[in-house]
Amino acid sequence: MSNTKTTEMKKSLTVILFLTLFTHGYGQIKLNPGVDTSSIEHKEVLRFWTDYINSGPSQNSTNYLKFWNDNDKNLFKQPDLTLHSINTEYSTFAMGYPTILSILPYKKDYFEIKTAIGWADTEGYISLLAIVNHYVKKINGNYQLFNPLNIKENINLVEKDDFKIYSLTNTAIPPDTLKKLSAFISTLKTDYGMAENKKLVIIYGSNSKETETILGFDFNLNSSTNNPSSGITDLSNHLIILNGLSSIFHETTHAYLNPLFPESPLLEGLATFYGGSMQKSLAEGIRFMHSYVTANSEISLYAKMKEGNFYINNEYNPTYILQGLLIQIAYDKNGITEIKKVLAYKRLDEIFENYFKLKGADSIDKFLKSELRKRAIK
């Protein structure tokens, strides 16, 4: 997605599901039985948190920012890391009915607020979307929100010149990966003439549970899917969120290059060219696609590219591979210069007609299959 976030893995929620949820907006907030509101402090925190949810926090609003501390706002344009970690378009708080589960003291001077977001059907069966944790502290007489990164125990920070990585203390990051990432970012900056010195922020868990803990989730709906490795790029925050390390170069490409070519239809192909997809390199993907079209010669690759929802199995993303193929062809022609040229086009048909000088679905399809074969048999 080109506006705020991009993701390598398709989210488990479907459009139909989302359309059934966004019916209530922001409104009444329920207290779960047993929530302690007996003290003045608890009542104040409850009022503060209710006001926050009713402010309509989302990527398209700024009113909610007044509830956050200055340090987190300086680090992130959107400091609530739970807002769009489930879906890149819709705020987590707008996707269900919020129920406050607990308001309890946490460490010195903080309160931890647990909120469930979900809905019930007409028979009373509950569907749970998420359980989120937020942290509140009174500063100079006013409550302020804090994200978990510098509050929760067992979160470790590794900082380099171009990036910082938050992970759980016992989750090791191979030093070789850190060196390769530094070199990769340096290469991207040089090749694409970037002078941006803002550090990339990475939240990394070896699995989804670790990642969600760092973000502030006890549970979210994506926890139910068996995705061993995935990544999300939050362009507004210059942030990538990783389950496993295999997506790190793919998502880093999005973080640095998407803003340079925001209207290109080949951004996933660009990220796949540099960082692979679904734990497979572009070369592996090309070999797979060649084998597939050899066995299914009647398929039109051009038609599938235009549809944008080409699915074969859970191990390869055909759309990303075919986009990556076009980037590879441009690079083989004259390096980064040609990549920049092909990325300047805003529509797929323009790329084929004006850059590759191809007209007609049949000629484009033959071209794609020929280029797959040429690179698969090397």
For residues 318 and 324, is the Cβ–Cβ distance under 8 A? no
pLDDT of residue 226: 63
Residues of the chain with pLDDT under 50: 1-6, 8-26
Q: E strands of the chain, at which residues?
A: 5-7, 30-31, 97-106, 110-120, 126-139, 142-146, 155-159, 163-168, 200-205, 217-220, 230-234, 239-243
pLDDT of residue 20: 41
C-alpha distance from residue 374 to each of 72, 196, 303, 308, 344 (Å): 50, 38, 21, 24, 26
The percent helix, strand, coil of the chain (3-state, each to 5) is 45, 20, 35
Amino acid 181 reads: L
29 by DSSP, 3-state: which?
A: coil
C-alpha distance from residue 360 to each of 258, 262, 322, 353 (Å): 29, 27, 18, 9
pLDDT of residue 377: 85
Phi, psi of 304 (to 5 degrees): -65, -40
Would you identify the CATH topology of the domain 5-147?
Nuclear Transport Factor 2; Chain: A, (3.10.450)
pLDDT of residue 230: 82
Produce one character per residue of 170-191: b if its CB has 16 or more CB atoms within 10 Å, e if not: ebebeeeeeeebeebbeebeee
CATH 3.10.450 placement within the chain: 5-147
How does strand 239-243 pair with strand 200-205? parallel
How does strand 110-120 pair with strand 97-106? antiparallel
pLDDT of residue 2: 32
pLDDT of residue 82: 93
C-alpha 227/C-alpha 242 separation (Å) is 11
Q: Global pTM?
A: 0.88
C-alpha 110/C-alpha 5 separation (Å) is 31
pLDDT of residue 18: 43
Within 258-360, residue ranges assigned H as helices are 267-275, 282-295, 301-307, 318-343, 348-350
How does strand 155-159 pair with strand 142-146? unpaired
For residues 116 and 131, is the Cβ–Cβ distance under 8 A? yes
